Structure 1
Amino acid sequence: MLRDGFYETQARTMIERVPPVAGIAQQWAISPYRGCAHACRGCGARAGHRRLGLDAGRDFDTRIVVKPNAVARLRAELARWGGEELAVGVSGDCYQEAERTYRLMPGVIGALAEAGVPFTVYTKAALVLRDAALLAEAGARVAVSIAFVDERIRRAVEPGAPTAQARLELVSALAEAGVECRVLMAPVLPLLSDAADQLGATVRRIAGAGAGAVEPVVLRLPAGTRAWYLEWLGEAHPGLVARYEELYDRAGLPSPDYERRITEQIAQLCRVYGMAFGPGEARGREPRAAQLSLV
């Protein structure tokens, strides 16, 4: 059903496995929205739109699919969930503009907190501050995505997303609100944002914003994302297309040697600036109330 420009669908399941190619620490995720108005060209979730009869390019950016029954469905699944950490917002930013209309996240946070399930919210959007008190009370982590601080690159590959400066300010605001905040430095773009001075400038400014940790992910190009990203690359940087074809395997993963070199550089920068590196360990919490098992 179409409402206010969004496509509503009743979710059959909320907890879904994270594809290994995603590169994040969690193996399971929930996403109230599919598609994302931030229109990041390298978003690895694009292929999911194909299963809905939509394309992985422009439709992913403009036809946002909403799950109005997300909270009810999630509560039912959490009643029999084993407690493993969940990622929130993998298939589309859970605090993009659609959330202003649907306000699904307070219910999602409440359900996770009541079940005592550890979770990390992935976002670029300042709307997350609306729920800062709920997130702090739930003991949640928020991972703000800041891959680079070069505004020219941001305008080219993340045209609908907030500026890097706005996201750095968001990190500071979350920390001040008592929310555990880390930065997902993703995606690092080969040959575009991976120079030593670019990585250094990004980590330095992340540290200055008060982030507790940095978790880097080099760009992935799974099915759906690959064609969309390489189409743009061919128009903007045609000389790099052949080098990307050499760097990436059929699954969309970068060369292990290249990825190791980049992550080691970022790890060293984190040590210099006194930040933790990597995803860290999930912290479980006691459920707020006894959970009923579904028969």
Structure 2
Amino acid sequence: MGWDALSLVDAADDRPLIERRAVVRGDFFELQARTVIERVPQAAGVAQQWAISPYRGCAHACRGCGARAGHRRLGLDAGSDFDTRVVVRPNVVERLRAELARWDGQELAVGVGGDCYQRAEETYRLMPGVIGALADAGTPFTVYTKSALVLRDAPLLARPGARVAVSIAFVDERIRRAVEPGAPSAQARLELVSALVEAGVECRVLMAPVLPLLSDAADQLAATVRRIASAGVRVVEPVVLRLPAGTREWYVEWLERAHPQLVGRYEELYDRAGLPSPGYEGRITGQIEQLCRVYGMECGAPVAGRGEPRAAQLALV
């Protein structure tokens, strides 16, 4: 596990690992990384198998974020701690360059453990170095974000092998305030997509997560796809909400308060691993695919890219 392989507690000190090992600066916990390229959990719903996350935790506070369980390994909870106690890897660029020297060229996701352009990036400015390391190694990558701060690095991202995926799952602002309270509005993200396209950045919309029984009605899907098309993007990648351990508890706790009548239906819809039933998922993605055809857009996950390997593949533990 790349964030730290040590036990969370020891006999001499029963504090959580994050409190023993991190340097605390305001709301941020600086923790030196041993490795930075990590396998993407299947439940993440992204196309890439490996990822880099300069930050763990996210101030966007999205209730359905699939990365929440990572905070538990650091002795923090997957709920409010994930939203407010962001862990920073200040040595991410140094470690990334070392690992890319032995990487096999597989495409990497950037920002799966927490939005890489959230507020912490304004302070730490890690992403220009991350992008530079990936560019120097010739490794293709996709940045996942909801934040307009990515425009700061548009000149660095307007190059072959780089692309940005902006998450826009729905355009209903009432839903956004309930389930993504710290994230920019859908309108702000649509404007971000337009700006990235205009800047020459390869950009797609990750229509994720589609929320069962909340944002999956036919008219809601149609409105979202229509607005995405008007922003100038040509590719949409739909992902239905995943509820892996850590995320499931936090999301269901909210669902019990806000929509108690839906809890039983969610229990029927999701398996023990937190994946939606294939029939439901296929129906929703099929509807979105049909809508994309109407608006002249491609639909689906990208084919993962591959650069030229610099040496033998890095052995990750």
For Structure 1 versus Structure 2, the TM-score category normalised by the shorter chain is: over 0.9
Closer/same/farther in 2, CA of residues 48 and 292 from structure 1, 3 Å limit: closer
Taking the aligned partners of 1:232 and 1:116, their CA distance within structure 2 comes to 43
In the alignment, what sits opposite 2:232? Answer: 210
Q: What is the count of residue pairs matched by the alignment?
A: 292
Taking the aligned partners of 1:45 and 1:283, their CA distance within structure 2 comes to 23
> 1:13–1:73: 8 Å Cα contact kept in structure 2?
yes
Greater Cα offset, 39-48 or 270-279: 270-279
2:265 to 237, 243, 250: 243
Q: Which letter maps to 2:267?
A: E
| Structure 1 position 4, deviation (Å) | 3.1
Matched, 1:42 2:56: no
Taking the aligned partners of 1:247 and 1:286, their CA distance within structure 2 comes to 42
Q: Which letter maps to 2:47?
A: A
2:297 to 275, 283, 286: 275
> 2:210–2:241: 8 Å Cα contact kept in structure 1?
yes
Alignment RMSD (CA, Å): 1.5
| Structure 1 position 139, deviation (Å) | 3.5
- SS at 1:231 equivalent: helix
In the alignment, what sits opposite 1:93? Answer: 115
- SS at 1:142 equivalent: strand
Q: Which letter maps to 1:198?
A: Q
Taking the aligned partners of 2:306 and 2:78, their CA distance within structure 1 comes to 35
Deviation string for 1:130-170 (max 9, x for gaps)? 00000113541100000000000000000000000000000
Q: How does 1:94-243 map to 2 (within 5 A)?
A: 94-137=116-159, 139-243=161-265
| Structure 1 position 256, deviation (Å) | 0.5
Deviation string for 1:181-218 (max 9, x for gaps)? 10000000000000000000000000000112000110
Q: Which letter maps to 2:195?
A: A
In the alignment, what sits opposite 1:79? Answer: 101
- SS at 1:137 equivalent: coil
| Structure 1 position 77, deviation (Å) | 0.4
- SS at 1:223 equivalent: coil
Deviation string for 1:269-293 (max 9, x for gaps)? 1111011111222444569xx7899
Percent of aligned positions with the same letter in both sequences? Answer: 81
- SS at 2:275 equivalent: coil
- SS at 1:54 equivalent: coil
In the alignment, what sits opposite 2:15? Answer: none
- SS at 2:237 equivalent: strand
Greater Cα offset, 276-285 or 40-49: 276-285
Structure 2 residue runs of 5 or longer lacking an equivalent are: 1-22
Taking the aligned partners of 1:73 and 1:244, their CA distance within structure 2 comes to 41
In the alignment, what sits opposite 1:14? Answer: 36
